[in-house]
Structure 1
Amino acid sequence: MPQLNPNPWFFIMLVSWMTFSLIIQPKLLSLTLTNHPSNKTHSTTKTTPWTWPWT
């Protein structure tokens, strides 16, 4: 059963993981966010309970 032989697949997994963690991830993390979190105070809306006609 050739799929149980980890020889080529383990190397491919290691190379792809190293590529992601050393090259792609720092480039993605260096991008600036377009929507910065703000310090706005959220106003709460007053909700009225629903009046059911059969109660």
Structure 2
Amino acid sequence: MAQMKAKPWFFIKKGSWLTLSVIIQPKLLSFVTMNPPSNKPPITPSTTPWTWPWT
């Protein structure tokens, strides 16, 4: 069985990586919004201890 040459696959891999990073990724990142920073302190909910039925 003939062995495939590695040279064209390197350029295919680099070309697909370049296409992803330059063309596709900025389009995908435009849909993702970052959470704005908040100056409020985080609110911790008040919890009550659990009453175990066997005590």
TM-score, normalized by the shorter chain, greater than 0.5: yes
Segments ≥4 residues shifted beyond 4 Å: none
Q: Structure 2, unaligned stretches of length 5 or more?
A: none
One-letter amino acid of the counterpart of residue 48, structure 2: T
One-letter amino acid of the counterpart of residue 2, structure 1: Q
| TM-score, normalised relative to structure 2 | 0.55
Cα distance in 2 for partners of 1:53, 1:24 equals: 57
- Paired residues, what number? 52
Greater Cα offset, 38-47 or 13-22: 38-47
Cα RMSD between the aligned structures?
A: 2.7
Distance 1:10 1:48, change over 3 A: same
Sequence identity of aligned pairs in percent? Answer: 54
| TM-score, normalised relative to structure 1 | 0.55
Q: Helix, strand or coil for the counterpart of 1:15?
A: helix
Q: Structure 1, unaligned stretches of length 5 or more?
A: none
